[in-house]
Amino acid sequence: MFDRAFPPFRLDDEDAPEERASGGNGVLMAKFLEARTVLIFGGIDQKLAERVSAQLLYLDHVSHDPIKIFVNSPGGHVESGDTIHDLIEFIASPVAVIGTGWVASAGTHIFLGAAKERRFCLPNTRFLIHQPSGGAGGRATDIAIQAKEIVKMRERLARVISEKTGQPVERVREDIERDYWMTTDEAKEYGILGTVINNISEIKF
Give the DSSP per-residue string, 149-184.
Answer: HHHHHHHHHHHHHHHHH---HHHHHHHTTS-EEE-H
DSSP 35: T
**pLDDT score, position 147:** 86
- List the beta bridge partners of residue 133: 10
**Contact criterion met (CB below 8 Å) for 95 and 61:** no
Q: What is the pTM of this model?
A: 0.86
**pLDDT score, position 60:** 99
**pLDDT score, position 8:** 52
Could you tell me the mean pLDDT of each successive run of 10 residues in the chain, 205 residues long? 41 47 71 97 98 98 98 97 99 99 98 99 98 70 84 96 99 97 99 98 94
Task: Report d(CA 195, CA 159) in Å as an integer.
Answer: 23
**pLDDT score, position 132:** 87
Q: Of the candidates 42, 71, 39, 44, which has an alpha carbon nearest to the alpha carbon of residue 55?
A: 39
Active site residues: 105, 130
**pLDDT score, position 117:** 98
Task: Report d(CA 149, CA 196) in Å as an integer.
Answer: 36
Structural domains in the chain plus CATH codes: 10-198 (3.90.226.10)
Task: Report d(CA 145, CA 90) in Å as an integer.
Answer: 31
**Contact criterion met (CB below 8 Å) for 190 and 131:** no
